[in-house]
Structure 1
Amino acid sequence: MATWWITVGDRVLPKQIGGHPALELCNTRSGWGEPYDDRQNYLRDLTYLVTLGELNGLLSHDRANTLIRKASREPQAASDVLASTVSLRADLYDALTGRSTSAGFRRVADAIAEARSRQELVSDSDGPHWVFKGRPSLKESLDCFLVAASDLLTGQRFSQIEGCPGSDCGWLFLNGSGRRRWCQMAVCGNRAKQAAYADRSRQAQP
């Protein structure tokens, strides 16, 4: 059965259909273009964001477990980071779809610059790469997505971003082939087909 979600441990997260971590973060909300309803939000607490980061290869398993334990010990700080994430997610969605206001884009740019400032370039057996400085911070659960978003916003794949036109959806995905229309043909595509068939049937009635 086609669904919008997956289960990771005891957490329900959106099915990973975007093709990039920044898009998967935006897809933790459904119903883009509609008035916000918290029931459409998959980020029930900060541990969901941490789990999403690990699922997308932005956080190691050990780092993710450390952040989950830290979130349990510091519930107010975790709640503050989650609130920042939910607020910034809308600005990021607009930036990725080319709909930003100047103020919204500045909020994204400032958040990315701040996230970058908490990184340093190191070289080890894996070669040169960026890491976050010092002990794990709860902000890292959002920062890792912001750093990934900066690469997408400034890279060639930015032009491949599409939004699903499905009713009550708006999920984002990379459309490198130019032939993809729906987030999932088996879900939003089929719903559209059924709605079109029902409309034709009504019009055909005497």
Structure 2
Amino acid sequence: MRSIASLQLDGGCPVFDFTNTISNRNDPDYFDYLTKYNDFIQWSEKIGLLSKGRIHAISIFYESHVRKSADTLRQVVEAREVIFTLFSSLAQHRKADKGAMDAFNGLLSEALSNMRIDVGRTEVTTSFAVSEKTILKEPLYLLIKNAFDILSSQSFERIKECPTCRWLFLDTTKNGKRRWCNMQVCGSNDKARRYYHRKKESTNPA
């Protein structure tokens, strides 16, 4: 049975694991792992996006603001699709989709306007203004910041999209030749499918 607990994390970074909360984008009957706001919180905890203290605080707020949480989930899912569309264009070596780029800039502006940094002697930590208006979006703001960091620091050649399921991933291999999000799952399925078609063609020549 599919669940947040069983969801694989093959994106190589938080924001790609976020866009990959759909089972298979090539399948019209895909499974969406984010159908309730609590799913988003469980997923954020699974990947270590927030401290346990922040997860607990957001969970408490969520439990007493169910209607607001449902509206926030809608915005979270919309943001996920904006981010996917933007990075999918780059993974396919196409010019970034203008609509997605404009929408992402809006998301980025909101996230950064709520962001705070604390400069210590050896490190900089990031946090967000905590209020009833922003608390449910705190995980999303972190993901938008992560997307910005990738856009501004990673070679676009390392941003890839799995041909089998369309999951996004960062190719961190030395030679940059990684093809699938997961060799054991999508890689094996793709090879089996190609073998089947070759076998079928050899036994049924035109």
Aligned to 1:165: 163
Partner Cα distance (1:15, 1:126) in 2: 33
Q: Report 1:90-169 matches (<5 A).
A: 90-97=81-88, 98=90, 100-124=96-120, 127-135=123-131, 137-166=135-164, 169=165
* Count of residues in correspondence between the two structures: 195
Unpaired runs of 5+ residues, structure 2, are none
Q: Name the % identity.
A: 28
Q: Give the whole-Å Cα distance in 1 for the aligned partners of 2:111 and 2:81.
A: 18
Q: For residue 96 of structure 1, what is the amino acid of its counterpart?
A: F
TM-score normalised according to structure 1 size: 0.84
Give 1:148 deviation, angstroms: 1.1
Q: Distance in 2 between matches of 1:126 and 1:82?
A: 36
Tell me the TM-score normalized by structure 2.
Answer: 0.84
How far the C-alpha of 1:80 sits from its partner, in A, is 0.9
Alignment of 1:54-73 (within 5 A): 54-73=45-64
Q: Is 1:181 the counterpart of 2:194 in the alignment?
A: no
The alpha-carbon deviation at position 13 of structure 1 amounts to 5.3
The answer as to whether partners of 1:157 and 1:174 remain within 8 angstroms in 2 is: no
**Structure 1 moving runs of 4+ over 6 Å:** none
Q: Which amino acid aligns with 1:141?
A: P
Q: Is the 8 A contact 1:78 1:138 kept in 2?
A: yes
1:45 maps to 36
Please list every run of 5 or more consecutive structure 1 residues that lacks an aligned counterpart in the other structure.
none
Deviation at 1:133, TM superposition (A): 1.6
C-alpha RMSD of matched pairs (Å): 2.3
CA distance in 2, matches of 1:120, 1:96: 26
Q: Cα distance 1:40–1:154, how it changes in 2: closer, same or farther (>3 A)?
A: same
1:20 and 2:13 are equivalent in the alignment: yes
